């Protein structure tokens, strides 16, 4: 049996704290791309640091499954594209450790990249339940309930078959949402529950849901073919006490994310997901997470000269 090697942080439980580092390639320093990625390869362990490569870096790739996020129709207004060519999801329980790691990565990557955004991830009301952790979005709802279970987890998140250079890799859609906390503070429990389609008190799914409810819009089985994804999002906040969700999903292609976002934005039937009443997308970006083979990132599908 072939053992699939992937970046383990994609599958692990969500850590207490994280830092997302997003970079864009500096055109003037492009000549340093290869050596910069080689230095990065020595640092990234795939578990405490998950790496995703974006648009300009993927131009150098020989695999053709990656695509640039291109908003269509109503998405153009609701979901602007972020110019991100490389992202790191640094994961640790200790925020001081994260700070020092982030400084080191920024230093190494500055040879070819510029910082596009730095986002501090946290948990909200996280608790252990049986073998799993239950996490909440800052709106108060449990997040991650309908994620695939058992063997379906890996099959959904990590490429298992096909092109050798893709096996062990994952397609990562990353989206920064900012919540309107004033709206959430004032809204009734019923109004919020109607938006999600689940109970704030015990997370049960309502039998009768509004057409705009989030889980009615995104029900994975309702797409043809079905659109399953592995969601590993984290709440974020900054020094101005703004915050929201760093929506993250991993899959064997971007298809599931694309069809779901398309429906959420109302491109199918004109009905926009209720989520937009209390949250707004800052940027959306598509990344490819290389496999992790023999103790290091496998960057062999990149044509680096
Ligand atoms: C502010 C942003 C978002 C928030 C707060 C949010 C929150 C939630 C919550 C509370 C649930 C119900 C519990 C669960 O199954 O996890 C849920 C389900 C889900 N969300 Fe989101 N979500 C957000 C964005 C997105 C986006 C952008 C997508 C995809 C493009 C998405 C896809 C899904 C899917 C697939 C489910 C499960 C649906 C099913 O029951 O099959 N979510 N989300």
* Residues near ligand 1 (Cβ within 6 A): 137, 139, 141-146, 175, 177, 196, 198, 214-215, 218-220, 229, 245, 247, 257, 260-261, 264, 275, 279
Q: Is residue 301 part of a domain?
A: no
Q: Which atom of ligand 1 is nearest to the CA of 275?
A: 1
Q: Which atom of ligand 1 is nearest to the CA of 173?
A: 30
Q: Is residue 238 part of a domain?
A: yes
How many whole angstroms from its chain centre is CA 205? 24
Q: Is residue 167 part of a domain?
A: yes
Report which protein residue has its CA nearest ligand 1's atom 35: 218
- In this structure, how many other beta carbons lie within 10 angstroms of the beta carbon of residue 40? 21
Output the average pLDDT for the chain.
Answer: 95
Q: How far is CA 263 from CA 113, 183, 226, 267, in A?
A: 34, 24, 14, 6
- Residues 173-197 have pLDDT tens digits of 999 999 999 999 999 999 999 999 9
Q: Is residue 2 part of a domain?
A: no
Which of 95, 133, 84, 87 minimizes the C-alpha distance to 282?
84
Q: Is residue 304 part of a domain?
A: no
Q: Is residue 147 part of a domain?
A: yes
Q: How confident is the model at residue 5 (pLDDT cuts 50, 70, 90)?
A: very high
Model confidence, pTM:
0.97
Dihedral sign, Cα of residue 185, residue 189, residue 194, residue 196: positive
Residue range 222-244: mean pLDDT, rounded: 98
- How much is the pLDDT for 101? 98
> How many domains would you assign to the chain?
1
Q: Is 84 helix (H, G, I), strand (E, B) or coil?
A: coil
Query: What is the rounded CA–CA span in Å between residue 301 and residue 188?
Result: 51
Range of the domain at 23: 8-294
Q: 230: part of which helix (H) or strand (E)? A: strand 230-231
Which of 263, 284, 144 minimizes the C-alpha distance to 213?
263
- Residues 70-86 have pLDDT tens digits of 999 999 999 999 999 99
Q: How confident is the model at residue 305 (pLDDT cuts 50, 70, 90)?
A: low
Does position 1 have pLDDT exceeding 60, yes or no?
no
Q: Is residue 36 part of a domain?
A: yes
Report percent pLDDT > 70 for the chain: 98
Q: How many residues does the chain have?
A: 305
Residue 78 CA to ligand 1 center (angstroms) comes to 16
CB 204 within 8 A of CB 198: yes
Q: Which atom of ligand 1 is nearest to the CA of 139?
A: 5
Q: Is residue 300 part of a domain?
A: no
State the number of CA atoms in the 13 A half-sphere of 140 facing the CB: 18
- Residues 114-169 have pLDDT tens digits of 999 999 999 999 999 887 789 999 999 999 999 999 999 999 999 999 988 899 99
Residue 80 CA to ligand 1 center (angstroms) comes to 19
């Amino acid at each position: 049996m072939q053992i699939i090697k992937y970046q383990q942080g994609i599958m692990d439980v969500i850590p207490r704290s994280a830092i997302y580092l997003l970079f864009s390639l500096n055109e003037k320093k492009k000549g340093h791309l290869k050596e910069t990625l080689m230095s990065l390869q020595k640092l990234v362990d795939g578990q405490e640091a998950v790496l995703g490569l974006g648009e300009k870096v993927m131009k150098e790739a020989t695999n053709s499954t990656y695509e640039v996020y291109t908003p269509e129709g109503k998405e153009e207004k609701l979901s602007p594209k972020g110019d991100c060519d490389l992202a790191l999801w640094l994961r640790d329980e200790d925020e001081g450790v994260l700070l020092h790691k982030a400084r080191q990565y920024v230093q190494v990557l500055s040879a070819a990249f510029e910082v596009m955004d730095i986002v501090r991830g946290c948990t909200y009301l996280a608790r252990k339940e049986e073998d799993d952790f239950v996490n909440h979005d800052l709106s108060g709802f449990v997040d991650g309930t309908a994620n695939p279970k058992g063997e379906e987890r890996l099959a959904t998140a990590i490429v298992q078959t096909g092109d050798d250079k893709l096996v062990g890799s994952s397609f990562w859609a990353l989206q920064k949402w900012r919540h309107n906390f004033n709206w959430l503070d004032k809204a009734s429990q019923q109004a919020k529950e109607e938006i999600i389609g689940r109970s704030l008190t015990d997370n049960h799914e309502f039998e009768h849901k509004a057409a705009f409810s989030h889980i009615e819009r995104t029900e994975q089985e309702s797409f043809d073919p079905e659109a399953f994804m592995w969601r590993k999002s984290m709440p974020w906040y900054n020094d101005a006490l703004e915050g929201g969700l760093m929506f993250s999903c991993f899959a064997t292609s971007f298809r599931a994310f694309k069809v779901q976002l398309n429906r959420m934005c109302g491109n199918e039937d004109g009905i926009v997901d209720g989520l937009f009443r209390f949250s707004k997308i800052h940027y959306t970006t598509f990344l490819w997470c290389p496999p992790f083979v023999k103790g290091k990132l496998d960057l062999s599908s990149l044509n680096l000269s």
